[in-house]
Structure 1
């Protein structure tokens, strides 16, 4: 059970969730999008939102700015969150623009706002769960897409609800967060996505 709960934190890592949201969007969108365009965007997003942050983490670790990948203290979170905000801004400038799809554009704007809110909480010495921010943000995006495209994805939403519960259980088991930090993470992840729905739904 210990190994299972640890693996959940890695399988549903915050770096993976934005790419998961984009893959889901392309799989459900009724619009015709050339496969070459989809592949190019997915590769670009994988490099920018996953590979680059991993490389930056190792750089920060070499410089002594972070100790572990879990970012256990608020001080350790400052530089990763700043760099992640810059990465998301690059995505919004170069890969996901409003003309190429408002849904994805505001999905990443929501991710940016969540990162900024998490950074402000860090400045106030509060460590909201980044895992819960990521998974709850994607969950809210899925709900909005199901309404927007008028599609039945109840099975996917039920699975996402289970995943949210599993991630929360994992973080508690690992003593990475308290209940308050998990609940705050859910709000920080979901509220920006819910608010931005007004601009594209």
Structure 2
């Protein structure tokens, strides 16, 4: 059980949540998007949200700016979060500009707002759960996609609820966060996606 709970933090790492959101959108949207475009977008997201952050993490660890992939202290979080803001800005300007696929533009805009909020909290020494931020943002976006396109995603939502609970249990078990930090992370991830719904639904 200990190994299972610990592995959940890696399986559902925040770096994967933007990619999961994009994959979910392309798998559920009734809009026609050419396959080459989908492949190009997915490739860009993998490079920018997974490969690049991992390479930057290795660099930061080499420079002794961070100690672990989970960024356990608020001091460790600040520079990676600032870099992530720049990466998300690049995505909303180049990969998913507003006039192309608005749903994904606003999804990443919500991620940017959540990241800025998390950075601001780190600056005042509060460590909101980045795992919960990523998972809650993805969850809210999935709900919005289901409502927007009027498709039944009840099974997917049930699975996401289980995953959210598993992530929270994992982070508590590892003593990486307090219940307040998990709750704050949930709302920091969910609320920006909820607030910007008015702009694309």
The Cα shift of 1:99 comes to: 1.3
The Cα shift of 1:37 comes to: 0.4
Aligned pair count reads 201
Q: Where does residue 78 of structure 2 map in the other structure?
A: 78
The runs of at least 4 consecutive aligned structure 1 residues that moved more than 2 Å come to none
- What is the alpha-carbon distance in structure 2 between the residues aligned to residue 19 and residue 87 of structure 1? 14
The Cα shift of 1:170 comes to: 0.2
Q: Does 1:106 align with 2:106?
A: yes
Q: Where does residue 19 of structure 2 map in the other structure?
A: 19
**1:113-132 paired onto structure 2 within 5 Å:** 113-132=113-132
Q: Which runs of 5+ in 1 are unaligned?
A: none
Q: Which runs of 5+ in 2 are unaligned?
A: none
The Cα shift of 1:118 comes to: 0.2
**1:177-196 paired onto structure 2 within 5 Å:** 177-196=177-196
2:14 aligns to what SS in structure 1? coil
CA RMSD after TM alignment: 0.5
Q: Does 1:60 align with 2:68?
A: no
1:18-74 CA deviation, whole Å, 9 max, x = no partner?
000000000111111100000000001100000000000011111111011111110
Please identify, of 111-120 and 60-69, the stretch whose mean Cα deviation from structure 2 is larger.
Answer: 60-69
**1:164-175 paired onto structure 2 within 5 Å:** 164-175=164-175
TM-score (structure 1 length as normaliser) = 0.99
TM-score (structure 2 length as normaliser) = 0.99
Q: Where does residue 29 of structure 2 map in the other structure?
A: 29
